[in-house]
Amino acid sequence: MHIASDHGGAPTGPKAWWSHLYVQVLGAILLGGAIGHFFPEFGESLKPLGDGFIKLVKMVIAPVIFLTIVVGIAGMRDIGKVGRVAAKAFAYFLVFSTLALIVGLVVANVVQPGRGLNIDPASLDAGAVSQYSSAAHETTVVGFLLSIIPDTVVSAFSTGNILQVLFVSVLFGLALAMVGEAGKPVLTLLESVSTAFFKLVAIVMKAAPIGAFGAFAFTIGAYGIASVINLIALVATFYLTSAIFVVGILGLVAIANGFSIFKLIRYLKEELLLVLGTSSSEAALPSLLQKMERAGASKSVVGLVVPTGYSFNLDGTNIYMTMAALFIAQALNIDLSLQDQILLLLVAMLSSKGAAGITGAGFITLAATLAVVPSVPIAGMALILGIDRFMSECRALTNFIGNAVATLVVARWEGALDREALAAALNGEPRPLAAKTDPAAGPGDDLVLAKD
């Protein structure tokens, strides 16, 4: 499998500062915010630009995941490695997702951002959140497990359900690996198709500044910066808590595994700005797959950990759920006992997985959690409905960074992390085209790491 440089074979000089994607996206966000603030109606009308870009990205997500996973698994000599990588990944997800829930719970109890609002529960508009509560009631553990199995192999791709695509991809990858020599022509074909699809991703990403511009202009135009002022305590607390979790907890995990969280964030700056502009971590999923391979993680580990992490490793969403639930209780002057908070934590652990892959998952999982904790009315979610869009950006950023860290950690545990490639990538050092064998891959599955 070859990952080609976007610059082609001939060396080029330094790129102009304005030609870097992250500079263009940042400029688009600032311009979109200004237009949304000064011309709100026009800003709202730009929503199709953001929606169109998200649709473009979602168009390529399913085939990119399928090709990455199948090529990674089919090229492995030892099929047992698939189960081992999956087990390590889920162990990591369980520990840090739970830790994120606990962090949100502790900070909300200490800071108490909702204390003093003294909202009368009778004054809440239950109809404003009815669509989210109904979606939450439809989401059960059994229903979630059954929904992983698609009606047909093709429907997994037509609906774009990441978990269904992941399910089909793993099964097909295992089947192709078990076929042996007869499957090699198919594997070679899929490798070539994969190269073409990643080039398609590069083409799609050219539109990232336009998508970020439209999405951010809509957000500011529709909700206004003023909508944050009344609930600034919750927004500020959530952002600060997420920063502490990323820098403190994930930072320590990074140090323990031989890399810097700050260098990783700098390495992923283009993707993070894209996530910020679109409020969607899915927008940067194809690029994350490439970046993690360039950072030395083996293709097989990247193909399994990143897609599953997008559904099961939602650190930002977990912090949000416990913090928002306690904020609502505090604002309504409802005292939750220790038992109530433990129940809230346990329910959130399940509901955060049960709503995986659903649009607006953060808000829906909160509704699903509150539905099982009768002390706090679901109608209380109306208090944060107006600012949820602003918090969704932080949720997406935290989820994205958490999955990048998880990929590198699991790759290290599996002995499938090229330390030299990691150091070069995080230090921003250009690497010449040189074959580097994926330690978890079989014969013929060599990676060529190009200049970033």
Average pLDDT over every residue of 153-168: 79
The answer to whether position 9 is within a domain reads no
Mean pLDDT, residues 419-437 taken together = 71
In a domain, 6, yes or no: no
| pTM (two decimals) | 0.70
Question: Is residue 171 domain-resident?
Answer: yes
State the pLDDT confidence band at 437, using cuts at 50, 70 and 90.
very low
Average pLDDT over residues 1-17: 47
Identify the band that residue 363 occupies on the pLDDT scale cut at 50, 70 and 90: low
Q: What is the pLDDT, as a whole number, of residue 21? A: 67
Question: Between residues 365 and 38, which one has the greater pLDDT?
Answer: 38
Residue 447, beta-bridge partner list: 436
Range of the domain at 51: 17-449
310 in Cβ contact with 282 (< 8 Å): yes
Mean pLDDT of 185-194: 84
Per-residue pLDDT tens over the stretch 255-314 = 999 999 999 999 998 888 888 877 777 778 888 888 998 998 988 788 888 888 887 888
Residue 11 lies in a domain: no
Distance CA 276, CA 321 (A): 20
Q: What percent of the chain has pLDDT over 70?
A: 73
Using CA atoms, how far apart are residues 273 and 284, in angstroms rounded to an integer? 9
168's tokens: 């089909």
Q: CA–CA distance from 373 to each of 237, 326, 338, 345, 376 (Å)?
A: 23, 11, 13, 10, 6
Residue 450: what pLDDT?
33
Q: Considering only 89-93, 221-225, 404-408, which range has the smallest mean pLDDT?
A: 221-225
* pLDDT category of residue 410 using cuts at 50, 70 and 90: very high
CATH code, domain with 184: 1.10.3860.10
Burial class (CB in 10 A: 0-12, 13-18, 19+), 133: buried
Q: Report which of 374, 352, 373 is spatially closest to residue 363, judged by C-alpha positions.
A: 352
What average pLDDT does the segment 209-232 reach?
Answer: 74
Across the chain, which distance is largest between two alpha carbons, in Å?
70
In the predicted model, is pLDDT for residue 397 greater than 70? yes
Assess contact for 373 and 207: CB atoms under 8 A: no
Q: No. of H helices and E strands in the chain?
A: 22, 2
Mean pLDDT of 75-94: 79
Tell me the per-residue pLDDT of 439-452, one tens digit each, with 9 for 90 and over.
444 433 333 333 33
Residue 56 tokens, joined: 């473009």
CB neighbour class for 260 (10 Å; exposed up to 12, middle 13-18, buried from 19): middle
Counting the structural domains of the chain, the total is: 1
Given this model, what pLDDT does residue 78 score?
Answer: 61
Q: Is residue 339 part of a domain?
A: yes
CA angle 306–177–167, rounded 5-degree value: 40
Mean pLDDT of 168-176: 84
In a domain, 154, yes or no: yes
Instruction: Give the chain's radius of gyration (CA, Å).
Output: 22
Both tokens of 195, joined, read 């190269």
Residue 83 lies inside a defined structural domain of this protein: yes
Angle between helices 80-111 and 338-354 (to 10 degrees): 140
**3 domain-assigned:** no
170 vs 72: CA distance, rounded Å: 10
Average pLDDT over residues 381-409: 82
Angle at alpha carbon of residue 392, lines to 389 and 393, rounded to 5°? 100
